[in-house]
Structure formats: C-alpha cells, structure tokens
Amino acid sequence: MPITVGQDTAKTRKTLSVGDQSFAYYSIPAAEAAGLGDFSKLPAALKVVLENMLRFEDGNTVTVDDIKAFAEWAQTGGKNPREIAYRPARVLMQDFTGVPAVVDLAAMRDGIKNLGGDPQKINPLNPVDLVIDHSVMIDEFGNPRAFQMNVDREYERNMERYTFLKWGQTAFNNFRVVPPGTGICHQVNLEYLSQTVWTDKDQNGDEVAYPDTLVGTDSHTTMVNGAAVLGWGVGGIEAEAAMLGQPISMLIPEVIGFKLTGRMVEGTTGTDLVLKVVEMLREKGVVSKFVEFYGEGLDHLPLADRATIANMAPEYGATCGFFPIDDETLRYLRNTGRAEDRIALVEAYAKENGFWRGADYAPVYTDTLELDMGTIVPAISGPKRPQDYIALDKAAQTFGEYVKGIRAGQDATPKEEVRWEGEGGAPEPVDIPGDEGHHKRGFVKTDEHGYQLHDGSIVIASITSCTNTSNPYVMIGAGLVARKAAALGLTRKPWVKTSLAPGSQVVSAYLEAAGLQEDLDKVGFNLVGYGCTTCIGNSGPLAEEISKCINDYDLIGTSVLSGNRNFEGRISPDVRANYLASPPLVVAYALVGDMNVDITTESLGKDKDGNDVYLKDIWPTSKEVADLVEQTVTREAFQSKYADVFKGDEKWQGVEVPQQETYDWPATSTYIQNPPYFQNMSKDPGTISNIEGAKVLALLGDMVTTDHISPAGSFKDTTPAGKYLLERQVPVREFNSYGSRRGNHEVMMRGTFANIRIKNEMLDGVEGGYTKGPDGEQTSIFDAAMAYQEAGTPLVIFGGEQYGAGSSRDWAAKGTALLGVKAVIAESFERIHRSNLVGMGVVPFEFTGGDTRKSLKLTGDETVSISGLDTITPLQEVPCTITYADGTVKEITLKCRIDTAIEIEYIEHGGVLHYVLRNLAAS
C-alpha cells in the first residue's frame, strides 16, 4: 500500500540520485534554508523524528510549529518538551504479544460490523511482521534429539495458535508471519528485515527514501537501534493503533549523550560492557529518554556489540539507545547480505541529510556521561535485576552475602544435614566458601549414587536470547571455551540443565562451519531450538529429582543465562537467583556448577590427568575469536539462511486455515477466545467519571515489573488459571504457559498479579497472587476482583517506584482493566506500562509532595475516592480522599499521568482501540 505523506511539504521535498536510481526525500538542510530553524546540532536520533515531521506535515496532526520545536530543542537541550504525532514506518511483533494483537484485530472486525461499518477497514496500513519465537520450550536438552523433540512438542502445544496466526496472514493486508524455528524477532529484524533507510511509493507513485523506523510489541525492539534504525517497544494496544494508521502521541524526548572512549581489553566481551552501561544509566535515570552513543570509542565497537547495548535499553530504562549511521553500519549491512544498491542508498542518504557520524559529529545533548571501554572487566549481573552489576571476581562473595541475607530473615541456623537413603554412600557435604552455617543442603539420588545440591547450585546454564546470540564474537567465544574444556576432559556438572537456543539459524551455520557446535555438544550445549526459551521463562522443567530436592529443602537454586532479564519468578519456578552473563561465562559456570566458586581464581574441575583446570586455561584470546569470526560469519551464510524466511518447514506448510474475512471463534478453544472489549459497544464515547468508594486490590512495592503483573511462564493446577483449564479437561501436561495463552482472556485475567514471587503488602510475608476479599479473608486476587465486580465496587492498585518495569506486554494492562481496576497509584511508572494502562482505559496516578504508600501507612483496608477526573487536563493534579479502616480521613494530591490531550480521548472512549474503532466505523 502506498505511503501517504503530508501535502504542505513541497519546500523540503528534494531528489536524491544514487547510481541509476532517483528517490524523493525530505531534506533537513532544505528545512533550514526555508527558515524553519537551525537543526545542525540535533542528535541523529532526533533528526529521525524531525524527518518524520517534515514528511507528514499537513497543518493538522503535524504543524510547522511542531517542526520549529526541534530547533528550540537544540537551544534548550530538550528542556521544553512538545507533544507531537509520530508515525513509524512499520511494526514488529512476536507471537506472545502478537497473538492477542491479532485477536484484537479479529474482534475489531466483528465490532465494526456490529457498528454498521466495513470489516475491511480493519487492516494494517503499515507493514507488520510477526516472528514466532516465544513458543519453543526446553523439554529436551543435552542430546542430539533435543532440537527435533522440542519442535515437535511446540507444534503439539501451539497448533491452535499457529492456525489462528496463519489465518491472520491470509485475512489481513500488510501482515507477514515468520514461521517457528527461524529465530528471535529482534535478531531476524536486525539481520534481515531492517534496511536502515526504507523506501516506498507515496500516493503519487513516487519512490520515497526515509529513515527505517518501527515500533514493536516487545520491549527489546530497541536492539535494532544498533543499526541506526529508530525503534522501541510499545504495548500491543499501541502497536495495533499504529498499524491502523493512528499516530503515536509522544513528547519530543530528552536525549542523553553517552560518550564511549578507548577500546575493549583482552579477556572482556560486549556483554561485560553492556552490563556496566546498564548499571551507569540506571543510576543516571533515563526513563522516557533517548540515549545516543557517540565518541571515538565507536570506531572500535562492532555493530554486534552496539546491538547488544541497544537491546538492553529497557533494562537501563530508556526509550531507546541509538547509534548513528557510520562506516561500521555499512560494513554490517554488507556482511549480513543486504543488497549493494541499498547500502549505497544508506550512505548517500545519511551524508546528504545530516545523519552521518563522521569525525566532526558533535551534537547537543540534554546531558552526557562517559565511559572508557578500557576500564571494563569481566562481569555478571544479578541475582534478580539486570542493573545489579557484579565484577566477576566478586561474584562468589556477593552471592554468599545474598544467601546470608535471605537465611538471616528465615532461620538463624538454616543448615540442614539430610539423611541419605538408598544403596551406596552419600556424597560428602562439600565445603562451601564463606558458609558460616548459612547455606542449606540437600542430596539427589540417581541410581545407586548421587550428588549434593546446596544454596548456589547452578541448575540452569543457558545460552539464549537475542541479546547475546546475535553477537558472533561472544558465540564463537563460547564455542572456543567449550572446545578447550572438552579437550581437557571437562563437561557440565550432572545437575546443570544446559541449552543453546540461538536467535537465528545463521548462528548455527557459523558454529558448524567453525566446527564449534560439536565441541558445544560435548559439554552439554546441544541445540534446543531457535527462540527466546530460558530468557522468557521457557526453560522447561528441571529433572524431577532436582526440582524435588530444591523444594523439599528450600534451596536457593541458581541459573546463569546470556539473556537480558533475570527478574524474580521469571526463569524457572525452581530457581530463585538468576545471573546474566556472556555466553563464554555461561559455559564456564556450567562446568563448575556452583555460584559459590570464584571462577576467576578457583579450579573449574580436573583434567584427564587429575590436574586442576582454571578459567585462564580455557579462555580464548581476542585474536582467536576474531580470526574465526572473519572466516565463518559470511555474507553468503546470511543470504542462504534468509532466502526463504517466510516459507517455514513442512509442519508450518501443512497448517491449513479457512479463507474468510472474519474469524470463526471456536467455542471450545482454550487458546483463542473472542475478547469482551468490543462486545455491546455503543457508537458514542462516554465521559471520564470520578472514582468513588474504591477498594484496594493490591498494595505493591518498588520495581513491580510486568512479569509480576502478568507472568509469561508456567503455572500450576492449583492456580485460578490452572483450575480453569482443568474444568475444561486440559491435562496439566498441556497447560503450556501464560504467554502462549494470551489469546484467551479467561486464562489471562486469572493470571494477572499471579507471579509466584509477587508480594502484596496487604498480607504479611505471603508470596504469590493473593489479597483480601470483601470479607477480609485471604483469597486469590482473581477471586477477590470478581467478588468486588459482582458488588459493583471499583478497585485501585497502589505501588512504589518504577511500577511496570520490564517487558512491554499489554496483558499487564489488559488484565488489570478486566479485573475491574480503575486506577493505579504509584510513586513512578515505566514508560510502556503507563501508556498501556491509558490504552486500556485505566488511569495512572503518581503521588505528590513526598507521599508514598509507606508514609501514608496504607494497609489495603482503606477506601479511596478521586475527584476532578470529569474536567481532567493532561498532567493535572487532582484531590484524592483516603478513608482508613478506623474512619480517619486524609486528603492527598495526586498527579494524573494522562500525559497528552489525545490520551484524554482514549480514556473517554474506554481505550485506544475503542477510539480507533469508533472513528473507523464513523468514516
């Protein structure tokens, strides 16, 4: 479909000739010549947004004043934000967030028919790519059968969802699906879909060149900023609106400049660098800001490392972490198989329109910070937040302090001697460094023998996630560690569940070309699938005897993974401490199997002759890694693996779907159900009502993530979601995960606030999705919410700082809304979740004047009323009345986080999709 551009932009529209081709483009220098302002000192990331304004300037949604605001930004460093309407070029999805988005689109087709409109108006206007990457689970591992067996189980579990997605591909225009087993969406996006400079025909049939931009229904969409493609994660709700032509309302952001100098030293990796960057930027505070990386250090930073840093923007809290176009961008595009004429266009466009990072690149930033890459040391982060940076030589000591803190709060003398039952002698309890009686122990019996598990036993070691598997330097490094270890006779410890889940098939191609996959197999890192796996909680079950030992003796099981998230309850229900590390370190930790061991100085194990093997003995040099990358990571490998990216294997080709305009919702499906959002919807919006007499559903602390609010992993038969499935004769083995069932609102409502590690402060010392019901007794959050809904009682949630951090999952907002929550009151919000709440008609509020849930001494037994909403304006402060259980009344002031004028309309309509649907039906 041709792009539609503004009609008042002739003065900035120019022609660019590249080889024998000509392109129209919107010129920033021409805008300066037309007297719209001086844009020369704008950061490249903001020039991308400025070009968007030039291209879509129509005097209505985008005005000349919007364009001039960017010149004002350059004078003030962004201290005077302006609301703008931004239109990304395309949308990226994965299946966990994509299925509910396609469910919503299908439901909107039903809804528009009921309003008397045309179902064909519900079609993506912008290109949408959905990559199926979140569904493979590690059931089988550590053997040559693992990959095929996991694929087979994936199709068994998910055929209903895959049939639905394939129907979507045939029913909707501008919608493509990348089948299972191809790779992770962000890596496929970086390696294949992205072009850095996009081209398309406009309404006049002219070919227009413009910056490649996108939003994605996954927070790590930011990864592609490493290739100078401006993109960030939004909730599925906001992405659906963008698909349907609705501009994204945003404030021109502040841009923090992060200067990189020096170069990485021997023995360090891009992962070590990004963990330090995350720590520094979290400390700086960059929520809702762009971060742009600059400085001479970029001359020595491969694009793979840049993409690793950009990937983890959600972990440091920024909207994105952007790297401008330079020679390294062109090198990467060429090496990954992009067409030569596209590479020539990228270079010519960037230099012509002021996007090129040359030696003289020196823009204005809101603020800056600096890091000498020569100071980076090997590191990990954990045990439960990505920003909890730990230098590797302090890892064992820090873990011991963590255990001590937990055990001190549970039991003064927690060490337990466990009686061994069965034939053969029990293993001798190992000496745990710095134990001092703080570690618990248990024994696992296998056949006649066994081994000890204790606090800190590493039970999962996983090379996973687009964050690091997109980086050939760390992947080749992991293979070389495995090669050297296997040659000395080392392998994984028997209690460690090891897995290798690359982000694309190209990784397998170069590992095999280098002969390293065979070495990885020898130490237990067999291919288990191409997908997110452990990073999103699809780590699969631990061996029954290991899980039983951990739970019987309340051990602190540990995981080490090369991912980007390590929040509590995310990786595995049996694992409490999770550490992020580079792939080579993941292999090393699998060999030692114990977080209590200082792997920088202590033995990893014995070689064939009984000699101690140390990390330095198996760690490759930078030259060894670079030489193999040069030999095996080739343009031809990328072109070959992406030649038929949308075709899929025989299983995918065999999925049959009906050819019909609207979806025939299967009544008995436990995966796909018609959601209630648009049923019985009126043609006209309502008004925003004040909140009267609301009860508290949950009282939550700081850093409550979207994983806490809407977990993605597995769940038990005793949970509300499990009971729902049992009532429909779904066996426990077929429960799959919350993430895979996001197309069924009945499951997801029951899973909201159901993370096993969430702590509702209304209850003393209770973990999990519980609260007080209307009768004051402890019950599940779902059951309490339904009881309040039956009584017609509105609900509120109280939270602390950084409420809604983490993944962009829209179900954290959808579930909140469907439980009957009208407002969330917190100390601060993360960007995406705040937007998602508004998109679902839930009003976010922030405390003012130093008030917090603690200073107000809230217990959850209060009644809450909020007024002033019937005349609300963006960011207005409103009065809130809290009535305590003893009848005491306190008046406080809240800041309403409806940030823009269009968001007020969203709330009036009951959500952004209702707003879009009514407008489409009326047109």
CB 406 within 8 A of CB 558: no
Q: How far apart are CA 256 and CA 366, in angstroms?
A: 6
Helix H, strand E, coil C: the string for 113-160 is HHCCCCHHHCCCCCCEEEECCCCCCCCCCCCCCHHHHHHHHHHHHHHH
Is pLDDT of 690 > 90?
yes
**Average pLDDT in the 632-643 region?**
94
Q: Is pLDDT at 415 greater than 50 in this prediction? A: no
**pLDDT for residue 275 is more than 80:** yes
Asked which of 409-423, 536-550, 635-649 is least confident by mean pLDDT, the reply is: 409-423
Question: Where do the structural domains in the chain lie, given as residue ranges?
Answer: 183-375, 381-637, 691-708+771-922
- At 2, the pLDDT band (50, 70, 90 cuts) reads very low
Identify the pLDDT of residue 3.
Answer: 47
CA gap 90, 211 in Å, rounded = 11
The predicted pLDDT at position 528 comes to: 92
- The H or E element spanning position 784 is helix 781-790
What pLDDT does residue 39 have?
97
Q: In this predicted model, which residue has the larger pLDDT, 869 or 161? A: 869
Residue 246: the pLDDT is 85
pLDDT score of 8 more than 70: no
Query: What is the third-level CATH fold of 183-375?
Result: Aconitase; domain 3 (3.30.499)
* CA 779 and chain centroid, separation: 31
| pLDDT tens sequence across 164-175 | 999 999 999 999
Question: pLDDT confidence of 10, banded at 50, 70, 90?
Answer: low
CA–CA dist 173, 168 (Å, integer): 9
Whether the pLDDT of residue 821 is over 50: the answer is: yes
What whole-number percentage of the chain has pLDDT above 70? 96
Average pLDDT, the chain: 91
**Cis amide prior to 383 (ω within 30 degrees):** yes
Mean pLDDT comparison of 16-25, 93-102, 417-426, highest-scoring range: 16-25
The pLDDT tens digits for 332-349 are 999 999 999 999 999 999
Q: Which residue has the higher pLDDT, 81 or 49?
A: 49
- Same topology, domains 183-375 and 691-708+771-922? Answer is no
Alpha-carbon distance 319 to 286, whole Å? 8
For tokens 């959500």, what's the residue?
A: 911
So what's the pLDDT on residue 426?
Answer: 62
Predicted local confidence at residue 213, as pLDDT:
98
> Average pLDDT, stretch 746-753?
96
Would you tell me how many other CB atoms lie within 10 Å of the CB of residue 568? 22
249 pLDDT band (50/70/90 cuts)? confident
Q: What is the pLDDT of residue 806?
A: 77
Strand partners, 144: none
Just give the CATH number of 381-637. 3.30.499.10
Q: Are 622 and 266 in contact (CB under 8 A)?
A: yes
- pLDDT band for position 413 (cuts 50, 70, 90): very low
Tens-place pLDDT, residues 455-491: 999 999 999 888 888 899 999 999 999 999 999 999 9
Adjacent-strand bridge partners of 705: 805
CA-nearest of 86, 81, 5 to 249 is 86
Residue 424: its pLDDT value, please? 54
Share of the chain above pLDDT 90, in %: 72
Closest by Cα among 566, 569, 549, 602 to 397? 602
Mean pLDDT across the stretch 378-392? 93
Which H or E run contains 707? Answer: helix 706-709
Please tell me the distance from the alpha carbon of residue 129 to that of residue 178, in angstroms, as a whole number: 7
- Report the candidate in 190, 193, 182 with the shortest Cα–Cα distance to residue 133: 182
Q: How far is CA 629 from the centre of its chain?
A: 28
* Residues 755 and 707: beta-carbon distance below 8 Å: yes
More confident residue, 522 or 430: 522
What confidence category does residue 303 fall into, taking pLDDT thresholds of 50, 70 and 90? very high
Q: Is the pLDDT of residue 419 over 80?
A: no
Fold classification of 691-708+771-922 (topology level)? Aconitase; domain 4 (3.20.19)
User: In this predicted model, which residue has the larger pLDDT, 10 or 770?
Assistant: 770
pLDDT digits (tens, 9 = 90+) for 95-138: 888 888 899 999 999 999 888 889 988 999 899 999 998 878 88
- Tell me the C-alpha distance between 457 and 382, whole Å: 15
Three-state SS string across 541-604, please? CCCHHHHHHHHHCCCCCEEEECCCCCCCCCCCCCCCEEEECCHHHHHHHHHHCECCCCCCCCCC
pLDDT per residue over 886-904, tens digit each? 999 999 999 999 988 889 9
Q: Report whether pLDDT(13) > 70.
A: yes
How far is residue 632's CA from residue 71's CA, in Å, rounded to a whole number?
Answer: 46
pLDDT of residue 204: 86
